[in-house]
Every structure is written in structure tokens, then in C-alpha cells.
């Protein structure tokens, strides 16, 4: 623990000593070594807190505190030292603090992705991150962080909507409408920013949601024949071709613009 603490303190000392002055705009690293030292400082800090909790249980059953303090340090470091990678770690820690971290064992044992608390927490976090993304550009504070917030927010929000469709089978069409509304917002954002990446993201999530609706409707038809099976195969073939053509066309339009 002493060794980890010394490495962490030494790394942060180096970063504070060599950093350039803070600015609300993008600040370049003083040298190529700086970013790696900062990453080492943050990783060893998280390791130190995790070791304290595991070995000595200093936070007791208040597991939120074990993620809250590292989250504050990571967000401070990301903005103060202008590091996008640390910002990604901070957002991940925020998700952990809100209770979104699910270990592989828990997925297999209890299928926690279907719990309503996880779904609504994901919806809240997704909306929060997209709002911060918008505010980052609006207030001109580290505008280059905007993509990271929007990327995490979009994935979390759309995954939560699809999880809600699967979980709330009676009201899945309402969740589908909500997903379409979110997709429309992200589509306008992708067109405005000429971002083919976001176009691909929203297209794939929309395709998954539409396919779920189609399969649900086929299942509710209750036909004992093979007609719905054949229709399902035809749907996936036709929709797959349409998906590829749509992405190719969208990419050409963005390049032309």
C-alpha cells in the first residue's frame, strides 16, 4: 500500500509541477510523457482506494463512498489537466457510483439487466450525459469533451430503452416511441456535426428495436404454420440489405456536404 501511495503521489506531483496553465479551451500536454504519468497517477489512486476497501473495509457497507471519492478525483483531473482518457474513466466511475456496474457472475446468476432500477438509472444517466454534452458546447467549457459525453450518453440511453422494451412487455411500444424520439434527436445531431459514427450508432440501435417490434407482432399473430417464420427470414434479409444501403447513402451525403 505504501508503494502504491508513493507512486500515486509522485505521479501527481510531477503532473502538478509540469502542467500548463488551466484554460476553458483545449490545452496541449507539455510533453508526450505527461499524459501517461497522469494516467498512472489516476490508476494507482483507484487501486489504492480499492485496496483499502477490500483489505480493511474502511467504508463498511457504504460502497457508494468507495466509488464517489475516486469519481471526484477523476473528474477534477480530467478538467484540470485536460485529459479525455481520464474523463472516460470518470464517467465510468459515475456509472459505477449510480449502480450500473454489473459483474459477469451477476449477469449469469441473476440477470440484473432486467431490473427496473437499473433501467431507470441508465435512462437518467444517459439523459444527464447528453445534457452535459450540450452544455459543454453551449458554455464553451472544454468543447473537445463533448464527444465523450455524447458517446457514453447515447449508448447508455439507447441500451436502457431497448432493455425497457424487453422488460416491460405490455408497454414496449411506448418505450419504442421514446427510443425513436431519442434517435431523432441524435440523428439531427449527427447531420449537424456530419458525424457518420453517430449515424451508424443510431441506425444499429433503431434496427434492433424495430426488429424486436416486428418479431413481437409475428409472435402475437399466433399462427401455427410456417408463414410467420418465412416472413421473419424475408424481413431480416430485406432489412439487412436496406440497412447497408442506408448507411452507404448517408455516408456519401455527409462526404458531399
Per-position pLDDT tens, the chain of length 257: 999 999 999 999 999 999 999 988 899 899 989 999 999 999 999 999 999 988 888 887 777 788 889 999 999 999 999 999 999 999 999 988 887 554 444 554 555 555 677 888 889 999 999 999 999 988 889 999 999 999 999 999 999 999 999 988 888 999 999 999 999 999 999 988 889 999 999 999 999 999 999 988 887 776 556 677 778 888 889 998 999 999 998 888 888 76
Taking the C-alpha atoms of residue 69 and residue 169, their distance in angstroms, rounded to an integer, is: 38
- The pTM of the full predicted model, rounded to 2 decimals, is 0.87
Q: Are 208 and 201 in contact (CB under 8 A)?
A: no
Taking the C-alpha atoms of residue 81 and residue 61, their distance in angstroms, rounded to an integer, is: 33
Taking the C-alpha atoms of residue 143 and residue 138, their distance in angstroms, rounded to an integer, is: 9
Among candidate residues 175, 251, 165, the one with its CA nearest the CA of residue 216: 165
The reported pLDDT for the residue numbered 60 is 77
Q: How many CB atoms lie within 10 A of CB 102?
A: 15
Where are the chain's structural domains?
A: 1-88
Taking the C-alpha atoms of residue 20 and residue 30, their distance in angstroms, rounded to an integer, is: 6
Amino acid at each position: 500500500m505504501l508503494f502504491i501511495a508513493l507512486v500515486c503521489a509522485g505521479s501527481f506531483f510531477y503532473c502538478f509541477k509540469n502542467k500548463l496553465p488551466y484554460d476553458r479551451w483545449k490545452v496541449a500536454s507539455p510533453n508526450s510523457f505527461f499524459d501517461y504519468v497522469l494516467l498512472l497517477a489516476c490508476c494507482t489512486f483507484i487501486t489504492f482506494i480499492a485496496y483499502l476497501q477490500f483489505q480493511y473495509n474502511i467504508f463498511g457497507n457504504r460502497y457508494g463512498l468507495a466509488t464517489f471519492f475516486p469519481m471526484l478525483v477523476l473528474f477534477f483531473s480530467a478538467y484540470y489537466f485536460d485529459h479525455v482518457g481520464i474523463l472516460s474513466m470518470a464517467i465510468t466511475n459515475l456509472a459505477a457510483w449510480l449502480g450500473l456496474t454489473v459483474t459477469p457472475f451477476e449477469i449469469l446468476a441473476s440477470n440484473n439487466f432486467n431490473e427496473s432500477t437499473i433501467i431507470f438509472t441508465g435512462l437518467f444517466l444517459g439523459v444527464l450525459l447528453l445534457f452535459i454534452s450540450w452544455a459543454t458546447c453551449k458554455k464553451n467549457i472544454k468543447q473537445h469533451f463533448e464527444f465523450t459525453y455524447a458517446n457514453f450518453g447515447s449508448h447508455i440511453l439507447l441500451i436502457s430503452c431497448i432493455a425497457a422494451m424487453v422488460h416491460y412487455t405490455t408497454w414496449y411500444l411506448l418505450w419504442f416511441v421514446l427510443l425513436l424520439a431519442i434517435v431523432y434527436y441524435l440523428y439531427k445531431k449527427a447531420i449537424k456535426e456530419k458525424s457518420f459514427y453517430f449515424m451508424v450508432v443510431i441506425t444499429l440501435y433503431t434496427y434492433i428495436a424495430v426488429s424486436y417490434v416486428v418479431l413481437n407482432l409475428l409472435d402475437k399473430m399466433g399462427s401455427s404454420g410456417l408463414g410467420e417464420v418465412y416472413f421473419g427470414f424475408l424481413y431480416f434479409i430485406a432489412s439487412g440489405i436496406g440497412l447497408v444501403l442506408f448507411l452507404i447513402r448517408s455516408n456519401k451525403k455527409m462526404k458531399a456536404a
